[in-house]
Structure 1
């Protein structure tokens, strides 16, 4: 990597030197008239500023302004006057020896601008007004969120900002979902560069890693054009970073706050001995532990005082004018500590037991899922231990996030060059305490014929299995570090040494444009010593009768993981390291032209290549041969884990760990054209030729005796719906059994039109074809599980890529600046959608990925943005925005899966909803600017509808209904006040509704929803002070 970056630096320096000697050209100029938009009359004394040079001109009494000597190039003009909304005009081209005509109209209202205007492709994208212009001008259907709106909404990172976009939401707090299509169908980029990911489950970028201090805007393209990535099916999310300012800036900010759940926890905040995070969120290093001995370090939870939330950041930027070029730089650094806590969590595992399925009586009863025995075998002479999973959950996390951004750029009349480096580090210490006491206490509810209801202080009947559903205590200590690092070099060049030429006035080809990007990016995930322990509380009375309470008379026993692999143990410790590196380049040529009616279009061709290498390693240990299988304390409350480290619990290495190397190459060539037929109709279209290559090489564990562990499954569906699962011995002469490769070439067309009958009305339509890829994990048959006896995932080497046909139609109405009314229709037909199923042959059970035959998703989006001062002068400064998305989706189940449901007499429909596609999304926000006092208020309400997160499943022992996340809404409020010219004080209140975040089992064949998980996040309050100089 070091040599590669050195080479890139040499190339950058060489190009900078060659560009800096470009010869100056004859000056041009800019002139025009500034109007009052409300009365359509010239506006006197308006100020016009060229952002790049800071030259200023004042409009005359007739509204005229002029810049007589402007060097040829592309500029941004800012029109302003006290009491009027500023207007930004980007991409104003000045040609040698020519005067550019540019007029503007200002509305009689006030909108606060950002501290600076960013150059290059980022000019003006920090404000909502500029992004509305970008929305209208973009060849793709685009929605954006500016840093301006992010600040008002209190969006602390890219993930939070994305939730403000129509049709967009966030899965698990970090993955982008666009129009109901999850991460697989959404391409996330940074400055148009595709980033790697070290995610354990998905090939999806964690958007919560990119905080607001480094973000200029978040742009979402909802239609595919050939110059985009081929997997941008749901959309492409581009996080645009802040760039070089137009003038010197220095910005500092500090904030402190708290979460109500954390505050209420007080000195009962969950942690562990040695837990928490150091200042930089970096592990202190490995402690050498010897296999077969009792290891040091806490294995269970404890409590501590609640930590404090705070963050701070600073940024500095400047640019320097020279005779022939401009040099600029920008740098920022941020630091944040954040904490979360809840103690009202529920995690209940239910199913419809096979015996209840066989009765065929509807609705089917839902009972706790059990393992290790049968609740209906209640023999006082043969007590069998069997367990349920009805857990009450307490969870706490502490997070440290910090990073920096540095940009340097050089511009001449025809060339723009930029180098960017960004580094982010995110460390999280997560502690989970899950206790199952309800399983014992509610036996009579689910199995009344075998377990009659009794009170705590009453004797238990003799025929009552004392080991039935014992209380359980599970404790997890999870420390994780994530980093993202990217080094990017980019350039834009106007090849003006090519003269304009054409066929008379019918067609004129203008100077070609070239842009390029070279990037090296790395993402890592490091989990040192993740720990999980499970204990059962068993009651062994000396004589009958005994009481169900039993908290003071019993013993702890190890709740063995088992897992059908001949291994046991109830303490598990794991090291995991994932690293993914990407080397990427893109090269684009654009040939602009002017056609017969004077309209401008272009032809564009380009190349793209992204090489990704992924390394996955893990090492795990457990107390497989622990001589101390039980512990007799004073009662249930003294945790066994409190004295565990002082006892003799030797840990041994597990030989079922996963290690693999993965490679992915995506290469592409495309061509596209934008052809205006006249002033109101144009077409954009072309093809992208994309090649995908995936390789996975397995590195299986080797036992001390030299035996190579067979850590993979293969499976085959039978005609009757059952499945055969094979687990053959590892054959070193047949690596193809575990090593997987995949290749596919795709031709992806796109055709779009734009019809603009009036200046304020734009109708767009698009048809395109895109793809969705498998992940390394999904394609490899290697068995992966978080701990021995836990859920197993094994990939499918026969898994195919998904193909999508996309249809989009949007109508935008912008009657005046700052106003928008929009309606969109979209439809996506999916061939071979990738879904997860659970396979069970009665011995082995695991989850895998399969291709369903087809899927379909369609919906409508509605959006409005309105400045209310246009209707009533008393509402000047009040802006209202709202958007709503309604989604209808379904996938068709494959025949073999339907046969499997029928074989086990389980209910099944031929179709179901698509995973992670919410039924609807609503966003409503109000902002109120009071320029006379420097006060700004913001209110934001977001609603996500019911969303399918897991489809129904069936096995030899039961039927599990579909799992939905129920609808919930969040309300955020912000109030900021200027203190003089340089300082601003801000108060924020987030999640004021504090809704119940809940998943439920749902099916037409059970009696209503049954809770699977639930918790509340708590409300957040903060106060910050910032200064800009």
Structure 2
């Protein structure tokens, strides 16, 4: 694969797809939906500074929303947007990246950055992995849970808006540095030789495909039916130095720099800037377990294929850069420009020992796999927005926005190798060092090279018109939103066939690179079988495009400061096409016109919403809302090509012809905003879904089951949410004046109804579903967040004890009579302490996962997956100049 270019581009085929979809879009601009929260500097207790600003914004929302400010994120010690959002009422975190709102999967929620749509670097999902956004650049996180017409109509659980830091009101300049450690990292850990630039998350070409192979792929001359010598010549240029080896683990490190200021140019004009630069490098060692296949014999379950000893070392390197420039005229006209560059590189090596159907302890052998996964995820976004108020025209407002973003996923070095360990000396011990050999097979090794480009252009505008008539205060809003998205994915792979060696006794050893050395390749004899063979398949490449033209109208009415009526409608014209390609011909991989028509999707409809708020008291209100929305299939979910799900390691195949899910959303919430930031809210929600999109499984003839995406018949989600914050001074003076407790509890349930025959007809494969009525995948019946906080009288100390847990949730639906596989509750217990020795200095100590919890998946009390997480400690020093 070629290293991704630095500029924006769309290949001709992508342009053709876009052209087939749409008529030219009109040029327009749009308002950012939410204004950024001003930075709050707390001079007294930090509790009040933490809660007051975000509570006031939430109180003023017409529709149900939860907001988390930067100071709240700092108190809980979360390092990125994903881990911070799990503290919000009703939200759970899956795989450290994806947020489930009210138990609905990531496909049921939309994500925005500063109110605009941005591209995703995830190859299997259309949503943005929220671990990309470090907490150091976040000003607030807004989660709108009830639909409003100014939001995207693709709205299920809610809309998450990551709002980045804005221009400061005064000069700021600070530096911080971090050191960290995880208890799993003690001793030597699994490793391999990577590239010289790995420390900052960039491959130096070590893992990249050799130029000779890349040239063949570019010319459509794939590695098929190679003569033996050509195969050897090509493979000799491939990196084989993937270990494994063992090395000590360096401590986690990180730093952050922030600088900004505002300047008065004269009485009318003001300008300013903000610049942040952050870096974080950490290593996580873990022990894992993985069951891949089981059989039922009577009432007992037999484990057929599993890895009971997995060693893993994962290293991440993250860079973040944010530059914001602003210009203001008379406080009525403001234009802001932001450049965001984020890079997140993950490098993982796993050594897996276990059994298969044919290679097991009972046969006197075991298998040992080496698995290396390396990926660079990068997001580039340019955003410009304007906010204009015209006092001379009855304070009419005009806001606009424009965003152009590109995300890249570059994975040049994924490699798998399989070894066999035999107890040759029959001492009852499988000696990995002396009794190991590379497998005699057509797939003794596999190399994979992947590249993904996602490009999104989003622009629009928004007019507001305030009007007062008697006891009625009104505001009318009308606007438009346009999204143009293209995606291009390329995947190449080839397998290593050790059956090509005449003398396979040379395959003895436990290190891939030490066995297949240059000398071995140069001096070995080969039979007629080529050493490498291309296993790239049709559908590995695809292009996709998506266009949305939306117009909306909202009206907001206040009557006598007692009632608030808000409502409106959104009209959205949605067009999407996904075209799987045959890499060998660059032609569409579509068998007939019927398939082709299923991959092009278009719908246009109206999506109304209405909300009513009744002000019971000055600090107490009751609000209700109802809205009609949809959830559409992701780009890959309507393509029949197969890919590997990173959550389960199971293959997933999309389904052409998937239907849109229609949702009716109901919300009712009572809110009490009291003195000093104390508050209490109780909410009820219900969602009625038609044709919900869900994961189902089909038995596989060889290997793990195949997951398919299909429509259920119907579904519903309902529950209650409670959120609170209370200072403990109510128990008396003294230490109680310095303590507060906050948190939230969500109790909910869901149900979907599946029809086996309809799923078979839709997917074209067997659907041996165990439960045709079950909970939604990923739904937890309860989520609990609590925090006990302390602020000293002299302002020198603050501390938080933070707890989070979610109820068990289905991750893999059951088939063939086996129950669903549930991810077990994870009790996250963290402590964050901050010391302020002077006005300029902050020292932060974090201890996370104190209980040393494991991640576990189970079905019928049988362990399916497990992974140790360890206890993490970090110390951060920050100085404000």
Residue 339 of structure 1 deviates from its aligned partner by: 1.1
CA deviation profile, 1:526-564 (whole Å, cap 9, x unmatched): 0002101122335689xxxx776565996635274xxxx
Residue 880 of structure 1 deviates from its aligned partner by: 0.8
Question: Does the alignment pair 1:993 with 2:865?
Answer: no
> Residue 339 and residue 551 in structure 1: after superposition, are their counterparts in 2 closer, same or farther (change >3 A)?
closer
Residue 301 of structure 1 deviates from its aligned partner by: 1.7
> Residue 711 and residue 985 in structure 1: after superposition, are their counterparts in 2 closer, same or farther (change >3 A)?
same
Compare 483-492 and 838-847 and name the one that shifted more: 838-847
In structure 1, distance between residues paired with 2:794 and 2:290: 52
Question: Does the alignment pair 1:622 with 2:622?
Answer: no
Q: Which among 680, 687, 693 is matched to residue 828 of structure 1?
A: 687
In structure 2, distance between residues paired with 1:3 and 1:436: 45
> Residue 422 and residue 587 in structure 1: after superposition, are their counterparts in 2 closer, same or farther (change >3 A)?
same
Residue 200 of structure 1 deviates from its aligned partner by: 1.5
Q: Which residue of 1 aligns with 2:131?
A: 208
Q: Which residue of 2 aligns with 1:932?
A: 794
Residue 905 of structure 1 deviates from its aligned partner by: 12
Relative contact order, higher structure (CA 8 A, sep 6+): 2
Q: Which residue of 2 aligns with 1:480?
A: 375
Q: Which residue of 2 aligns with 1:558?
A: 439
Residue 685 of structure 1 deviates from its aligned partner by: 0.7
Q: Which residue of 2 aligns with 1:950?
A: 812
Question: Does the alignment pair 1:581 with 2:455?
Answer: yes
> Residue 753 and residue 938 in structure 1: after superposition, are their counterparts in 2 closer, same or farther (change >3 A)?
same
> Residue 299 of structure 1 contacts residue 532 of structure 1 at CA under 8 Å; is this kept in 2?
no
- Tell me the secondary structure at the aligned position of residue 582 of structure 2: coil
- Tell me the secondary structure at the aligned position of residue 59 of structure 2: helix
Question: Does the alignment pair 1:495 with 2:418?
Answer: no
In structure 2, distance between residues paired with 1:170 and 1:695: 30
Q: Which among 519, 523, 527 is matched to residue 411 of structure 2?
A: 527
Point out where structure 1 has 5 or more consecutive residues left out of the alignment: 5-14, 16-73, 87-108, 115-126, 370-387, 444-464, 499-509, 561-567, 713-729, 1003-1008
Q: How does 1:385-424 map to 2 (within 5 A)?
A: 388-413=305-330, 414-424=332-342
Q: Which residue of 1 aligns with 2:191?
A: 271
> Residue 554 of structure 1 contacts residue 632 of structure 1 at CA under 8 Å; is this kept in 2?
no
> Residue 654 of structure 2 contacts residue 709 of structure 2 at CA under 8 Å; is this kept in 1?
yes
> Residue 668 and residue 390 in structure 1: after superposition, are their counterparts in 2 closer, same or farther (change >3 A)?
same
In structure 1, distance between residues paired with 2:655 and 2:157: 24
In structure 2, distance between residues paired with 1:796 and 1:440: 33
In structure 1, distance between residues paired with 2:55 and 2:729: 19
In structure 1, distance between residues paired with 2:780 and 2:675: 33
Q: Which residue of 1 aligns with 2:303?
A: 368
> Residue 559 and residue 992 in structure 1: after superposition, are their counterparts in 2 closer, same or farther (change >3 A)?
farther
Q: Which among 872, 879, 888 is matched to residue 749 of structure 2?
A: 888
CA deviation profile, 1:336-382 (whole Å, cap 9, x unmatched): 11110113x111234344xx4xxxx6xx321123xxxxxxxxxxxxx
Q: Which residue of 2 aligns with 1:750?
A: 609
Residue 279 of structure 1 deviates from its aligned partner by: 3.7
Q: Which among 599, 609, 620 is matched to residue 482 of structure 2?
A: 609
> Residue 785 and residue 221 in structure 1: after superposition, are their counterparts in 2 closer, same or farther (change >3 A)?
closer
Which structure: larger Rg? 1
> Residue 275 of structure 1 contacts residue 429 of structure 1 at CA under 8 Å; is this kept in 2?
no
In structure 2, distance between residues paired with 1:273 and 1:817: 55
Question: Does the alignment pair 1:797 with 2:656?
Answer: yes
In structure 1, distance between residues paired with 2:490 and 2:7: 23
In structure 2, distance between residues paired with 1:859 and 1:75: 30
In structure 1, distance between residues paired with 2:440 and 2:573: 49
- Tell me the secondary structure at the aligned position of residue 513 of structure 1: strand
Q: Which residue of 2 aligns with 1:682?
A: 564
Residue 699 of structure 1 deviates from its aligned partner by: 2.3
> Residue 446 of structure 2 contacts residue 494 of structure 2 at CA under 8 Å; is this kept in 1?
yes
Question: Does the alignment pair 1:351 with 2:294?
Answer: yes
Residue 168 of structure 1 deviates from its aligned partner by: 0.8
Q: Which residue of 1 aligns with 2:825?
A: 967
CA deviation profile, 1:181-231 (whole Å, cap 9, x unmatched): 111111111111111112121111111111111111111111110011112
Question: Does the alignment pair 1:1024 with 2:876?
Answer: yes
> Residue 232 and residue 333 in structure 1: after superposition, are their counterparts in 2 closer, same or farther (change >3 A)?
same
> Residue 162 of structure 1 contacts residue 218 of structure 1 at CA under 8 Å; is this kept in 2?
yes
In structure 1, distance between residues paired with 2:36 and 2:833: 34
> Residue 188 and residue 710 in structure 1: after superposition, are their counterparts in 2 closer, same or farther (change >3 A)?
closer
Q: How does 1:637-716 map to 2 (within 5 A)?
A: 638-639=510-511, 642-646=514-518, 647-648=520-521, 650-656=531-537, 658-702=540-584
Q: Which among 121, 144, 156 is matched to residue 67 of structure 2?
A: 144
Point out where structure 2 has 5 or more consecutive residues left out of the alignment: 1-5, 10-27, 29-34, 214-222, 224-230, 522-529
Q: Which among 740, 743, 758 is matched to residue 879 of structure 1?
A: 740
> Residue 884 and residue 785 in structure 1: after superposition, are their counterparts in 2 closer, same or farther (change >3 A)?
closer
> Residue 711 of structure 1 contacts residue 782 of structure 1 at CA under 8 Å; is this kept in 2?
no
Q: Which residue of 2 aligns with 1:288?
A: 211
In structure 1, distance between residues paired with 2:430 and 2:455: 55
In structure 2, distance between residues paired with 1:641 and 1:612: 42
> Residue 698 of structure 1 contacts residue 738 of structure 1 at CA under 8 Å; is this kept in 2?
no
Please tell me the root mean square deviation across aligned C-alpha atoms, in Å: 3.2
> Residue 549 of structure 2 contacts residue 572 of structure 2 at CA under 8 Å; is this kept in 1?
yes
Compare 813-822 and 839-848 and name the one that shifted more: 839-848
Q: How does 1:312-351 map to 2 (within 5 A)?
A: 312-321=255-264, 322-343=266-287, 345-351=288-294
In structure 1, distance between residues paired with 2:565 and 2:865: 49
- Tell me the secondary structure at the aligned position of residue 134 of structure 1: helix
In structure 2, distance between residues paired with 1:628 and 1:684: 74
Residue 152 of structure 1 deviates from its aligned partner by: 1.5
- Tell me the secondary structure at the aligned position of residue 876 of structure 1: helix
In structure 2, distance between residues paired with 1:475 and 1:79: 50
Residue 791 of structure 1 deviates from its aligned partner by: 5.3
Q: TM-score, normalised by structure 1?
A: 0.74
Q: Which residue of 1 aligns with 2:12?
A: none
In structure 2, distance between residues paired with 1:907 and 1:479: 34
> Residue 952 and residue 78 in structure 1: after superposition, are their counterparts in 2 closer, same or farther (change >3 A)?
closer
Residue 868 of structure 1 deviates from its aligned partner by: 1.6
Q: Which residue of 2 aligns with 1:381?
A: none
> Residue 341 of structure 2 contacts residue 379 of structure 2 at CA under 8 Å; is this kept in 1?
yes
Compare 980-989 and 550-559 and name the one that shifted more: 550-559
In structure 2, distance between residues paired with 1:249 and 1:551: 60
Residue 987 of structure 1 deviates from its aligned partner by: 1.2
Q: Which among 451, 463, 466 is matched to residue 363 of structure 2?
A: 466
Q: Which residue of 2 aligns with 1:862?
A: 722
> Residue 518 of structure 1 contacts residue 586 of structure 1 at CA under 8 Å; is this kept in 2?
yes
Q: Which residue of 2 aligns with 1:377?
A: none
- Tell me the secondary structure at the aligned position of residue 224 of structure 1: coil
> Residue 556 of structure 1 contacts residue 631 of structure 1 at CA under 8 Å; is this kept in 2?
no
In structure 2, distance between residues paired with 1:220 and 1:159: 12
Question: Does the alignment pair 1:782 with 2:641?
Answer: yes
Residue 252 of structure 1 deviates from its aligned partner by: 1.1
> Residue 191 of structure 2 contacts residue 245 of structure 2 at CA under 8 Å; is this kept in 1?
yes
In structure 2, distance between residues paired with 1:471 and 1:496: 78
Q: Which residue of 2 aligns with 1:41?
A: none
